[in-house]
Chains A and B, each alone.
Chain A
Amino acid sequence: MDFCKTVELLYAALPLRPFRDWLIRIHMDRCPGCQERLLSREEARGLLVRPDQTGDVEALWRRISDEACRLAPSPKAKGSGGRLAWQWAAVAAMAMVVALAGFWLLREAANPGFEARAAAPADRFEIASIQVGGVPAQTFVYQPQGTDTVFVWAQKTP
């Protein structure tokens, strides 16, 4: 009995749940003395409301069905829901158009334009053939060392 009191004191003193659970498991669940100091099922039932004491279920069902009917969407509400969906779709489409226009304008502002791009040096310069006086010309290509400059010299074929 003294041991039980010690265990009970330990239980009260140590608030750690794992420790309490351990105490319940190793001692209080098995000790008849401690079990007697716990409320029995019958005693608990005497203090609680049992399902068979709660009364008429019919009234409860009426209440629940009334509320369910009230919360159920009416046909009118469904129509307004559809209209709302269309409104949302229109707003989303408008937002997309505005975003695309903004993106295009930003892109235009960031790039100086077509002319500037055309003035930029080409990556590759190619001449298929050169004619002088309607006949194929003699062509010489020079590139000075250490530069990107290319000279093309064409002369009438002798």
Chain B
Amino acid sequence: MDEREIIEGCLRGSAASNRAMVETYGTLVLSVALNVIGNRQDAEDVCQETFLQVFRRLDRYDRERSFKTWLLTIAYRRSLDMLRKKRRFTEFSARARFDPAVMERGGAVDPADPAPLPSKLLETLSPRERTALCLWANEGYTAKDISEVLACSSSTARVYLFNARRKIKALLENDHGLLQNG
């Protein structure tokens, strides 16, 4: 099934087309959410919400635009929503003097299934910078493509990408220097 057939099928409410869409784009959406959020459980929630929203709102998709970019735009916004929700929860738990470790969802990590997580170095970047870096490195997106996902100007997307590449490189070089000196 090609992209157009999948979209037509999803618009008709076909379960097979919905499944084909998740199989085609699921890993892409999950990887973006994982790189932006940095937590597998939340990234899976975002992925689920993204596809549910896509199935509900597919009639609003403009066929002139790239479907992948439209899908990633939704995934990015959902990821930002999740980060905001988490921040509010963290602030609340800090105020209420809860132990966030006790309140976190999900069971213990299964050592037999070591799901990869993005590097901790990415935590130094803002969500926009992380998204820009992820789309550029994994998907080969240009600043113009990134700007469509981030809903900003192309030049702003360039600045996000440049900052991300510069910051991480500096951190890597610092680490390397420390290792050599140590």
CB distance from A144 to the nearest CB of B (A): 79
Chain B residue at minimal CB-CB distance from A53: B116
- What chain B residues lie within 8 Å of A28 (beta carbons)? 162
- Asked whether A64 and B165 contact (CB < 8 A) given A47-B119, A49-B116, A57-B23, the answer is no
CB distance from B96 to the nearest CB of A (A): 30
- Asked whether A64 and B162 contact (CB < 8 A) given A21-B156, A48-B134, A49-B34, the answer is no
Which of B43-51, B86-94, B101-109 contacts the other chain?
Answer: B43-51
| Residue A148 CB within 8 A of the other chain | no
Judging by beta carbons under 8 Å apart, are B34 and A65 in contact? no
- What chain A residues lie within 8 Å of B119 (beta carbons)? 46-48
Judging by beta carbons under 8 Å apart, are B118 and A50 in contact? no
Interface size on B, residues (CB 8 A): 43
- What chain B residues lie within 8 Å of A25 (beta carbons)? 155, 158
Chain B residue at minimal CB-CB distance from A20: B159
Task: Classify chain A: how many residues form its interface, as a range.
Answer: 20 to 34
| Residue A38 CB within 8 A of the other chain | yes
Chain A residue at minimal CB-CB distance from B170: A37
Judging by beta carbons under 8 Å apart, are A54 and B34 in contact? yes
Judging by beta carbons under 8 Å apart, are B158 and A24 in contact? yes
Judging by beta carbons under 8 Å apart, are B48 and A39 in contact? no
Judging by beta carbons under 8 Å apart, are A57 and B27 in contact? yes
| Residue A52 CB within 8 A of the other chain | yes
| Residue A112 CB within 8 A of the other chain | no
Judging by beta carbons under 8 Å apart, are B15 and A65 in contact? yes
Which residues in window 11-47 of A have CB below 8 A to B?
17-18, 20-21, 24-25, 28, 37-39, 41, 43-47
CB distance from B175 to the nearest CB of A (A): 12
- Which of B27, B52, B133, B134 is the one whose CB lies under 8 Å from A64? B52
How far apart are the CA atoms of A73 and B108 in the complex, in Å?
Answer: 34
- Asked whether A57 and B168 contact (CB < 8 A) given A41-B137, A49-B31, the answer is no
Judging by beta carbons under 8 Å apart, are A61 and B27 in contact? no
| Residue B151 CB within 8 A of the other chain | no
A interface residues, Cβ below 8 angstroms from B:
17-18, 20-21, 24-25, 28, 37-39, 41, 43-55, 57, 60-61, 63-65, 67-68, 71
Task: Using A25-B155, A54-B26, A57-B23 as known contacts, list a sample of 8 further A-B pairs with CB atoms less than 8 Å apart, ordered by residue number in A.
Answer: A38-B166, A39-B133, A47-B119, A47-B168, A48-B35, A48-B137, A67-B52, A68-B18
Supply 19 A–B pairs (Cβ within 8 Å), ascending by A: A20-B159, A24-B159, A24-B162, A37-B170, A38-B165, A38-B166, A44-B133, A44-B137, A44-B168, A47-B119, A48-B119, A49-B35, A51-B27, A54-B30, A57-B22, A60-B26, A61-B19, A64-B47, A64-B48
